């Protein structure tokens, strides 16, 4: 049963509590909130209290905890931001929902789409908003691309091509984060597909306006020996560091996605292409020559792709393509959530249900690789 969204009085600031004080919290999450005068970060928690205290001092956050429980128990906090290691996301998100908090969570909420969907259903039943850290759908150029698609610029969508790739771990000496050094090395473990696939799968759903009906894909381990942060030594890591899948959308469009963190190129490495009956759009989110985003367009009567200027209203205050992508894109994400919390009539964009749909595709592509066949969606044959 779904209840109406719990409104937050627009005359006051949304009060935010942050779980996690690592690099992504400091470089993206907290700066995004600090940029928006409609909200305030009032507390931060991290098991490493020194990290939390350093972040609090840097950003003027009044209260610090080394456990999440006292932060969640506070009745004056409206929104909890889960910015911790991936393995903790589901438990912390569920605890925040149980405490009747709106939740922003880094991806993934859970590695099994069914758990993400369960969290989404609990949020809806309580009238709570959720949002996933699908950072790249909030890039100004990507949002303008979606606006043009919605305005009919490309006509009927035919084909979506998505890429998220850079060379972050092309050098095997660069320590790999968040891997299981005790994993069965005879079985290829999902890595790039999980961490890098999610944002571009999300953008594909969003641009085409449909989910996938079926997918088929494959994964590879191109660099088998790596430095692992947990062990501090080189060891065999049989992980997916490159993958490709193709699929058929339910509305008849076709899609392809390629992800890798061993493909030469700069951050963040996103490229989304959508081709339709009237035109085509290509958005690149790659830091090159001091610019972090580019949008180009072509039409049936002018087939050469030409640069498109993104209107100022798609940028956060003071934003420009020459700002670092980390703060630029995330400022739009946090602003989107604050706007949704203050106006219950608005749809909840990029929420946990969107996350469940993305995770279901990831789970399906992994199954396709394991069983070497096409996989029908939804998994289990039941519509959400």
Is the peptide bond preceding residue 268 cis, with omega within 30 degrees of 0?
A: yes
Of 252, 223, 211, nearest in space to 354 by CA: 211
| CATH numbers and ranges of domains, the chain | 14-135 (3.40.50.720), 137-319+352-376 (3.30.360.10)
Strands 102-105 and 130-132 come out as parallel
Q: Give the phi and the psi of residue 19 in degrees, each rounded to 5.
A: -105, 115
| β-sheet bridge partners, residue 44 | 18, 64
Query: What is the pTM (predicted TM-score) of this model?
Result: 0.94
Of 289, 184, 247, nearest in space to 374 by CA: 247
Residue 9 has a pLDDT of 83
pLDDT means over runs of 10, the chain (384 residues):
71 96 95 95 98 98 98 97 95 98 96 97 97 97 98 98 96 84 88 94 98 98 91 91 98 98 96 98 96 97 97 94 93 96 94 98 98 96 52
Residue 3 has a pLDDT of 64
| β-sheet bridge partners, residue 218 | 244
Q: Taking the CB of residue 8, how many other CB atoms lie within 10 A of it?
A: 22
Q: Which residue has the tokens 């880094």?
A: 106
Show the tokens assigned to 283. Answer: 């958005």
> Based on the number of CB atoms within 10 Å of its own CB, is 247 exposed (0-12), middle (13-18) or buried (19 or more)?
buried
- Evaluate whether 96 touches 72 at the Cβ level (below 8 Å): yes
What is the distance of C-alpha 285 from the center of its chain?
14
d(CA 384, CA 376): 14
d(CA 105, CA 344): 20
- Evaluate whether 79 touches 337 at the Cβ level (below 8 Å): yes
């Amino acid at each position: 049963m779904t209840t109406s969204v719990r409104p937050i009085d627009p005359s006051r600031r949304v009060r935010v509590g942050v779980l996690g004080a690592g690099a992504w919290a400091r470089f993206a999450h907290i700066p995004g909130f600090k940029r928006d005068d409609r909200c305030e970060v009032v507390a931060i928690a991290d098991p490493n209290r020194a990290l939390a205290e350093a972040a609090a001092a840097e950003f003027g956050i009044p209260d610090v905890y080394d456990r999440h429980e006292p932060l969640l128990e506070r009745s004056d906090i409206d929104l909890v931001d889960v910015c911790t290691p991936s393995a903790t996301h589901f438990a912390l998100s569920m605890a925040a929902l149980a405490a009747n908090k709106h939740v922003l969570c880094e991806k993934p909420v859970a590695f099994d789409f069914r758990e993400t969907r369960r969290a989404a259903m609990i949020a809806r039943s309580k009238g709570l908003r959720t949002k996933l850290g699908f950072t790249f759908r909030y890039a100004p150029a990507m949002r303008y691309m979606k606006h043009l698609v919605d305005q009919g610029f490309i006509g009927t969508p035919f084909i979506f091509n998505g890429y998220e790739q850079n060379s972050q771990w092309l050098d095997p000496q660069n320590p790999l984060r968040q891997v299981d050094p005790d994993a069965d090395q005879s079985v290829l473990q999902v890595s790039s597909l999980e961490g890098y696939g999610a944002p571009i799968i999300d953008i594909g759903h969003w641009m085409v306006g449909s989910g996938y009906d079926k997918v088929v894909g494959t994964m590879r381990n191109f660099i088998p020996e790596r430095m692992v942060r947990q062990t501090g030594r080189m060891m065999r890591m049989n992980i997916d560091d490159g993958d490709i899948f193709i699929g058929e959308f339910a509305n008849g469009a076709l899609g392809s996605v390629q992800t890798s963190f061993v493909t030469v190129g700069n951050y963040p490495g996103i490229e989304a292409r959508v081709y339709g009956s009237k035109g085509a759009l290509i958005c690149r989110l790659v830091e090159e020559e001091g610019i972090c985003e580019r949008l180009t367009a072509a039409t049936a009567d002018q087939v050469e792709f030409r640069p498109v200027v993104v209107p100022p209203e798609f940028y956060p205050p003071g934003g420009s393509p020459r700002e670092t992508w980390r703060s630029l894109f995330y400022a739009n994400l946090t602003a989107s959530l604050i706007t949704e919390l203050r106006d219950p009539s608005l749809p909840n964009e990029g929420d946990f249900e969107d996350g469940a749909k993305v995770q279901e595709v990831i789970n399906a592509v992994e199954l396709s690789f394991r069983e070497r066949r096409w996989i029908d969606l939804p998994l289990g044959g039941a519509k959400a």
